[in-house]
Structure formats: structure tokens, C-alpha cells
Structure 1
Amino acid sequence: MTFRTGLATSLVAAAFTVSVAAEAFAQDLRPGRIRVGMLADINDFDPMAFSTVNFPTIKNLYDSLIEYTPEGRAIPNLAESWTIAPDNRSVTLTLRADVKFHSGAPFDAEAVSATLRKANDPRAGKNVYPTMSIVQEWAVVDPRTIRITFRNPAPTRQITDLLQFISVIDPAAIENVSTRPVGTGPYVLAERAVGQRVRLEANRSHWRASQPLSPEVVLTVFENDAAATAALESGAVDLVYGTTGRSAVRLRAAGYQVVEGPGPLVQVFRINSTRGPFRNQTFRQAFNHLIDRAGILRVGYAGLGEVTALPWAPASPAHDPSYAQRYAYDLDKGRALIQRSGLPQAEISNWKLLVNGGEEASVRISQIVQASLARVGINIELDLKQGAEFIDALLTGKFDAVFGAVGNVQKFPTRLTTNSIYRTVNNPILGEPNPHPEYVEAIRRVDTTLGPEDAVKAAYDNLNRVLVETAFGIPTNSYPIGLIVASPRVGGFTLDIDNMLVARTLGFKP
């Protein structure tokens, strides 16, 4: 059967062999009960509810069609190979033959089709649904082969992002997957005590040789970071997932391991360019130089991460570290742009900086910016809001400027548009139509440039130039999400492109 969906994409041809580096490393470790501290309970077990609170379980209960190395290279997973059509309008996947779901049901192309059908439903697809927008239809060719067709030719990385995002669910379990997960992953759900713990047991029928290494993973919920790290120090847990930068730096100095993945968030000074002095583009551009990025990284995130003037992680093909030097903190350059804007003195200070008063890092970095701006004559108030009041203001554009993190920055560049301030259509902050048509066009160009390599790079370079010139978002620094602090006894860490917890290779050093 053939199923149709809601948007467009295209693909590339690739077939790789699975790396055995992690397995070889795991052989030097001994199995044991892995005890993990986490700072919030999971919401549910649906892998399409792609929220950070669910990151400790997704990669342990489910397998995706393909995976990425930390550098962003696509490698096989449930799909042992894939071929992108010459016109980049479809991709054909050959599936592994040795995989079963936790229920014992066979993994096959019909199961992938059922998962795609869920992903393509606006409600059931949850966070995966927007990524499905590039897909026109899909067809089961035979039990081990499925073909996905795109509405338009799409870049390779955009296609592999889709395949990496799809975690396959047992068709019989889809209706109740939020509470009763059934995937093909290395662990199965053994116990769920809401607000307390999640216990996972090894899937001994898992298709990866010698994995999972450890027979059990216990995820314990702690009410705050201090309680979780105290449990680590006392030996009650073996690692903490999602700890803060400050705790990580302190514990690293005490001999604990700190594991940072390739999928950080980027902190962005978000500017509502439809309000006040920020309607003036030259005034907005001044903020490329008025923000002390190094100070923000140091004070807000204990130095973990890197300064950046662009919203990309190193794994992104659009990453260009030279911008951090080109648009470095320079009050003289910022002052000159303010003067060039032609705005009167009273107007340049006629705005407030919205602050998440419930987040210590946001308060600290907002105070740094407030002090820095005062040095060039911009004297502003901090508008502290907490909880639902802050979230409502952030997501509906009820602000002049605010700090807010953006994700998907290690994937295909136009995945950035899943973040509210960067949306090209139906932007909840900037309105419709988008007031920055040059940005919209730059995104379109990246989405439609397939090659040669110099043409693709030119499209990325153009997008980067437009981002700093339109200046409705001023990136300041990356910082780790899913940060792990672990006992020196634990080994076998596998870095996930989204910084999710991967427990199948974890064990204890001899």
C-alpha cells in the first residue's frame, strides 16, 4: 500500500557498515546495574513526544532507522542500507532481517509504514510531524524494503535527519505507546513509579551483538540538581543525566567524569523586530557586538560550551566559527552602529529585557547584558516573569527582547525553523508575513540547493550572512543539554547526536 503525507524532501544514496568501536570498548567493561539520577520525571514513553524530559528513555526503548556519528555522518541502524534516487525525490531503505520487537513480533516494512502513518498525523505525530512535512507518500515494496517519496528534491542531510528522527514502534502498541512502550530497543520497560523511578531490563533478543552490556538500568527522579549530585557523591547513583554546568565543573575537579554530547542548545538573544527601537535594522545589528558572549558563557554556564555568533553546533554543515571572531564583543563597534541607526537617545532605551526569573542562568546573563548596554548609553529594565507567565510571553511575542535557547542546531540548517523566533511562516513572535523576506528566501535556498558542493556551501554562507544582517536573533553561546556527570567507575559512553542517554554500551571498569 502507498500512503500520502503532508510535505516535501529528497535524499542521497548511502550504504555503510556498522561501527564496532563501541562494542569493542564494551568488552573491556563488566556488566552491572546502572543507576541513573535524573532531574525530572519523564512525561511518557512515546518517542515522538521528543521532549528533553523523555531523553533518558527514547534511545533505550527504541531504535531509529539510521543513526549519526558525533560528527554528523549517517550510519546504518534498523535500516542496513538506503539508496537515494538520482532525482533526489525518493529514498529506498533495506531493513535488517534479524530484528524483533519486545513483544516478539517481527520488525518489517509494514511496521515502519505504521510508524510513518502515526508520524504523519498532526496530533499523533507530535514533535516528529513537522519533519514529515517533506514526505509526499511511502510504499511497502516487500517485507524488507520501503520507499519514501518526497514532494520536491531535498538535500541529503535533510533526508537523513528524517530517517534518524524516526524511532519505530510495534504497530500493535501504537495506540497505547505513551504508557506501554514496545520498540526494538536494547531495553524493555520493567517498572514505572510516577515521580519516583523508571526501571529498564535488558532486551536479550536485541539485534546488536553483545548489547546491551548491563542487565538493568534504574532511572531515579530527584527534585533538584543538588539532591542528584549528592546522591552521586554518596555512591547512591552511578551517574546523573541532565546536570547543570556548575555542578559538572565542580564534580570534574573532584575526579568525576563529565560527558558532553554533540547536540547542544544555543542561547539566543531573541529580538522582537516589530516593536520599539528594534524595528531599526542597524540598531539590531549593534547587538552583534554589544553582548559579552564570553562573560555569558562563563557566568551562566560555568564555561561549558563555546561562544558563537551563529545558531549552529559543530556537527551542523552550516557551522562557521569565524563569525565568532568577526562579530566579537566590541563596544566601540556597537556604539558606532547605534549612532548610525539615527535613533534618538530616549528611544534606544525605550524597551525592557524579559527575563525568566525562575532560571538562575537567565537572570545572571540578563544582568551581564544590562550592565554592558549601560556602558554605551542603553539603560533598560529587567522584566522578570516566572512559570506560565514567562512561557506565554516568550512564545507569543509579548516581549521586546529575551534570552531563549534553540535546538536542532546540529542537524540540517533549516531545522532551525522549528524554533518559534526562526519560523518562516506563522511566526508567533514576528507575525505573518515574516518581516524578514531575505531570511525566508535564504532558508528556501538552503532547502532547494542540492549540489555541487560549492553551491551548497554558498547557500549556507548566504544564510549565515543574512542571519547576522537581519539580526532578529543574536546567538551568544552553546551549552550542553543532557550533560552527564559520572563516577570514574563507569565506562562505555556512546555520544548521541541529540544528547539522549544511551545505556546499551555502559558498564563498569575492572
Structure 2
Amino acid sequence: MGVATLMAGSALNAHADEALKGGTLRVGILADMTNFDPMQFSSVNFFLIKNLYDSLIEYTADGEPVPSLATAWEIAPDNMSVSVTLREGVTFASGGTFTSADVAATLEKAKDPERGKNVYATTSIIAGWDTPDAQTVVINFTQPVPSRQILDLLEFAMPIEAAGIDTVETVPAGTGAYDLVERKVGQGVQLAANEDYWREGEPIAEAVDFTIFSDDAAASAALESGSIDLVYGGTARSAQRLGDAGYTVFRGPGPLVQVFRINATREPFTNAKFRQAFNYLMERDGMLRVAYAGLGEPVALPWAPASPAFDAAYLEEFAYDPEKAKALFAESGLSPEAMSDWTLLVNGSDQASVILSQIVQASLADAGIEIELDVRQSAEWIEALLGGDFAATFAGIGNVQKFPSRVATNSIYRTANNPVFGDPHPFPDYVAAIEAVNAAVAEDEVKAAYDKLNRVLVESAFAIPTNSYDVGLIVAAENVAGFTPEIDNLFVARTIGFK
């Protein structure tokens, strides 16, 4: 099969060894975006974020930090601060000059529980910041912070122009390689090359046109007919088929973990035994095989295998065991009627989620629990997901290969301002475990903190991981090349061109 799985390497620029031509890059996607705020780090926005914005630093495929909008950074010997030197000569889409004032405004937004969105959880370690001059930002921390966590923060920080922060949801305000031309809700997004972009020789393509397709089959058919050049975010099954047919399949270094999210504020999920039963109800090997064509790894914790908190022993401890699940259902003390009195929200635009939901529905039926599926299309499902308007649903989570507390950037795992659980958080042991991970610097403290967090996760059971999988799979025509690895598998168009 023509699958290009990126191996560890030092270069972010994947087109350096071949001269590629420009033109209009036509990209098929399967879901509409939510808004243009880079702090809205939802997978449906992954096709846009790194084309409209740049990070302070980037990671190579093997996790090595390299300069981006920051040309240098120095972590204090006591790990209580980091001094960041900003790149000169960078402009925003508006034409405004990028300075430390923009980074300060971005940090202020990120620290706001209402405006910080997915980034807010990562800012709990920040005590404040100073901007001694236009090209320097010093970020101060509340306590000594592990170096990797500091680097993750810089990589996740995508500066927004201070003047554009209040309107960033509707008007992009970044330094990215492309500018917005037009968005047609439900149809697509058009971008044009930023003529003043700071990276020499980039972007290669003069324009990028994103078209939204109703499903993966329609996007694949468009690729095969030549009406688009690549599909971003298609299914593993289509990738397998098209790879066998000679198309290029690019798998990046940043998988997601599929998680059965549980709203523990709703009956019957307020019952801990009932929730814990789902640890044993997931037939992870079969789910991976059927829903993702085997591309990924079974997991019982919300970490990809590359995460420092990954522990393979949990996969064995919480292996599929319907009898243990039934025993916990019985121990819950709930009646069959109470256990069946909920619906499973399903993202009907995601074939894998539909399959996984049907598998869980069948497993519950075998245990005497009959539930209905509430299938909604992308926009309506996302609204329910981000609003906490569900009893349970499948949805992927990111940042699972980075510092473990970064899991709290995902809505179901947020320790504060959680859209599902609200405040105060109903699982104080989980909040304390995240705080302990953030505070652990010595090697023995780090391992103990990871072990405690993992145990709390399976006992609280408000989210049941099933498998890692490739988000942002790229399937492209043979004349398209220059794919750039991105640590979260966000789509990077600036290096892509035509042979």
C-alpha cells in the first residue's frame, strides 16, 4: 500500500529536496469549521489553524523544539520563568507588526476562563508576564515547571494580533502563510497566499480552496475524478483503499485518542459503578479493526504510546470483559429501566464514530441494557458536544503525546470551566492529580504523579479511552508533494506544491 508514515526527523520543511510548483491546491474536508479563533482547538478547525496562524515554536516529528515566531528561548535555572525572543519583521494579516504586545494580549485572552477556550487549562501554571521590549516576553510561573511542559506551552501559543482579539472568531488575526478570502458556511473556505509571509520561499501554492463534502465516499470520489488534489481528514478505510490504488497516503506524528465521553452529571451516569463498567465494555481490538482498519493502537488510558504517562499494564487490567461489566452494572443498584434511560449522541458525519457507537449499543444490549442512538450531523453534534448537552458520546482528544496535563485542553478533561461538568469540578481527585503532575519535577515525583493520575482516571471513569487513531490523514494525487509533519497532525499547506 502507498502509505507514507513519517519517521522521526529533524526537518519541518518536507519539500526542501525537490522543487515544487505553485498553483491552487484543492482540498476536500469532511466537516465545516467552528470559528477562526486558534484557541478553539477543535479537530474540525485543524485544516485552518496552522495556515492562518504560527506558533511561537514548533516541534519536529520526533518532538524536538525548533524556532518559529520565537527565535530563541531560555528557561530559568529554577524553572520559574522562560524568556522568549521574538522574530523581527513579521506582520499580521492586517499589516500590523508582530510585537511582544500581541503575545501579552494573547496570554491575557488565554488566561480568561471564558475566552481562553481549549488553551485556558494550560495557563494555570502562569503567574504573569513581562514585556521589557518589543521583541522580548518573559513568562513567569506559579511554581517550578518541568521544561517539557514549558516547551509545550510555547508550541501551543499561537499569537493573535492584539487589535483583532475581540473579533477573532469571525475575522482571522494571525501571521500565517495564508489570508482568508472567503468562507461559505457549509460549503468551504478559500485562502490566498500571504505575500508578506516571513518564511522565505513559502507558501508554495498561491491559493488553497477547501471544499466540504457530505461524507468520506464523496470526497474520495472527487479525488479519484481529479476535481480535488487531496483529502484531509478522511477515514482509515478509504486511505487503505486509495493507497492500494496508487494514491499517496501521509500519516503524521500526532494521533488522537478516541474516548467514550460520559456526562457524569446526568443519570444514570452519576452512579460510579455504572460508569466504571464501561472500562470493561470496550472491545478495543475489534473497535480498532472495524472502525479504523487497524491503523492505531488499543489504549485504556488517554495517552498515545509515545506519552510519558502511557502504561501498557492498564490495557491488560481493563481488557474487554463483559462479565465484569455486568457485575458492575449489578453492583450499581440501578434498575434495568434506569440503566436504559439515556441516549448515545453520535457524530453522524464521522463513520468511525457511528461504527463505535453501534458496537457499544450492541454490547449494552447483550448486558440487558437497551439504548437508542441520537445521530446528528457535524455542526449540530459539535454544538451539543461543546455545550455538554449529551449523556455520552464518542469524540477524539488531542495533545496525547505531549506533557500529560495537556490532556486538560480537551473539554471533557478540563479541570476548570468544564463545559460538561461546570464548576466546581465534580471530581476533585482528578483536579488534584493534574495539579500534582504539573508540580512534579524530581524523577520519583514525576512517576508517582503519573501513576496517581492514571488510577484516578479509571476510577472516576468519566471518559473511557478505546484506541489511538490518525487524525488528519492526507490522501493525495501522485503529483502532490511537500507534506509537513505537524505534532498534532494539523494541516500545513505552506510547503505543499505540485511536481
Task: Work out whether 1:108 is the aligned partner of 2:62.
Answer: no
Counterpart secondary structure, 1:26: coil
Q: Secondary structure at the match of 2:372?
A: strand
Question: Which of residues 66, 69, 73 in structure 2 aligns to 1:75?
Answer: 66
- 8 Å contact 1:355–1:363 — kept in the other structure? no
Label 1:213 to 1:405 Cα distance change in 2 as closer, same or farther (>3 A): closer
Distance 1:179 1:347 in 2: 45
Counterparts of 1:48 and 1:192, CA distance in 2:
21
Q: Does 1:139 align with 2:130?
A: yes
TM-score under structure 2 normalisation? 0.84
Structure 1 distance, partners of 2:471, 2:310, is 18
1:180: Cα distance to partner? 4.8
- Cα deviation code 1:237-266 (max 9, x no counterpart): 111112233322322222222223333332
Q: After TM superposition, list the pairs within 5 Å mapping 1:91-240 onto structure 2.
A: 91-102=82-93, 105-121=96-112, 125-174=116-165, 176-178=167-169, 180-189=171-180, 191-195=181-185, 196-240=187-231
The answer to whether the Cα contact below 8 Å between 1:243 and 1:484 also exists between their aligned partners in 2 is yes
Alignment of 1:468-479 (within 5 A): 468-479=458-469
For 1:227, the aligned partner's letter is A
Q: How far apart are residue 380 of structure 1 and its match?
A: 2.5
Matched, 1:482 2:496: no
Kept in 2, the 8 Å contact 1:44–1:54? The answer is yes
Q: CA deviation at 1:309?
A: 0.4
One-letter code aligned to 1:60:
N
**Residue matched to 1:292:** 283
Amino acid at match of 1:48: M
Q: Quick one: distance in 2 between partners of 1:454 and 1:212?
A: 46
Decide whether the 8 Å contact of 1:90 with 1:147 is kept in 2.
Answer: yes
Q: Structure 1 residues 497, 323: closer, same or farther in 2, change over 3 A?
A: same
Determine if the alignment matches structure 1 residue 318 to structure 2 residue 280: no
Give the corresponding residue for 1:454: 444
What letter matches 1:213 in structure 2?
I
Matched AA of 2:207: E
Partner Cα distance (1:281, 1:125) in 2: 31
* 1:262–1:410 contact (8 Å) kept in structure 2: no
| Matched residue, 1:29 | 19
For 2:397, the equivalent position in structure 1 comes to: 406
Structure 1 partner of 2:429: 438
> Residues 451-498 of structure 1: CA distance to partner in whole angstroms, max 9, x if unpaired?
223321221122112222333322111233322211122222112122
Structure 1 stretches lacking a partner, 5+ long: 1-18
Deviation at 1:337, TM superposition (A): 5.6
1:299-336 per-residue CA deviation (whole Å, 9 max, x = no partner) reads: 33333332110111244332234432332223455456
SS at match of 1:371: helix
TM-score, length basis structure 1? 0.82
Task: Provide the rounded CA distance (Å) in 2 between the counterparts of 1:257 and 1:69.
Answer: 21
Residues 259-270 of structure 1 aligned to structure 2 (within 5 Å): 259-270=250-261
Which shows bigger deviation, 474-483 or 108-117? 108-117
Q: 3-state DSSP class of the match of 1:497?
A: coil
More displaced 10-residue stretch of structure 1: 289-298 or 413-422: 413-422
Q: Do residues 39 (structure 1) and 33 (structure 2) align?
A: no
Q: Secondary structure at the match of 1:409?
A: coil
Query: What per-residue deviation string (whole Å, max 9, x for no partner) do you get for residues 83-104 of structure 1?
Result: 1223332211012235344555
Does the Cα contact within 8 Å between 2:386 and 2:419 map onto a contact in 1?
yes
User: 1:133-189: CA deviations, max 9, x gaps?
Assistant: 433322112232211122333333332232222222344554554555453322334
Deviation at 1:284, TM superposition (A): 4.2
Shift of the 470–42 alpha-carbon distance from structure 1 to 2, 3 Å rule, reads closer
SS in 1 for 2:102: helix
1:417 aligned onto 2:417 = no
SS at match of 1:56: coil
- What amino acid maps onto 2:464 in structure 1? I
Change in 2 beyond 3 A, CA 1:108/1:487:
same
Deviations 1:9-31 (A, max 9, x none): xxxxxxxxxx8734474331322
Distance 1:233 1:436, change over 3 A: same
5+ long unaligned stretches in structure 2? 1-8
Correspondence for 1:381: 371
Aligned residue for 2:4?
Answer: none
Are the counterparts in 1 of residues 255 and 468 from structure 2 also a CA contact under 8 Å? yes
Distance 1:121 1:225, change over 3 A: same
- Deviating more after overlay: 145-154 vs 383-392: 383-392
Q: Is the 8 A contact 1:89 1:152 kept in 2?
A: yes
1:236 to partner: Cα distance: 1.8
Note the C-alpha offset of 1:64: 1.1
Equivalent pair of 2:13/2:484 in contact (CA under 8 Å): no
Structure 1 pair 167–476 and aligned structure 2 pair: CA distance change class (3 A): same
Question: Aligned pair 1:504/2:494, yes or no?
Answer: yes
- Distance (Å, rounded) in 1 between the aligned partners of 2:114 and 2:216: 33
**Conserved? CA contact 2:118–2:409, under 8 Å:** no
CA drift at 1:233:
0.7
Opposite residue 476 of structure 1, the aligned amino acid is: T
What is the SS of the residue equivalent to 2:47?
helix
Q: Report the identity percentage.
A: 56
Q: 1:282 offset after TM fit, Å?
A: 5.1
**Matching residue within 453, 471, 481 for 1:463:** 453
| Aligned-pair CA distance for 1:364 | 2.7
Give, in whole Å, the separation in 2 of the partners of 1:110 and 1:176.
Answer: 17
State the structure with more CA Rg: 1
Q: How many residues are aligned here?
A: 487
Instruction: Give the equivalent residue in structure 2 for 1:14.
Output: none
Query: What CA RMSD, in Å, does the superposition of the two structures yield over aligned residues?
Result: 3.4
CA distance in 2, matches of 1:409, 1:461: 16
Within the candidate set 253, 256, 280, 2:244 is matched to 253
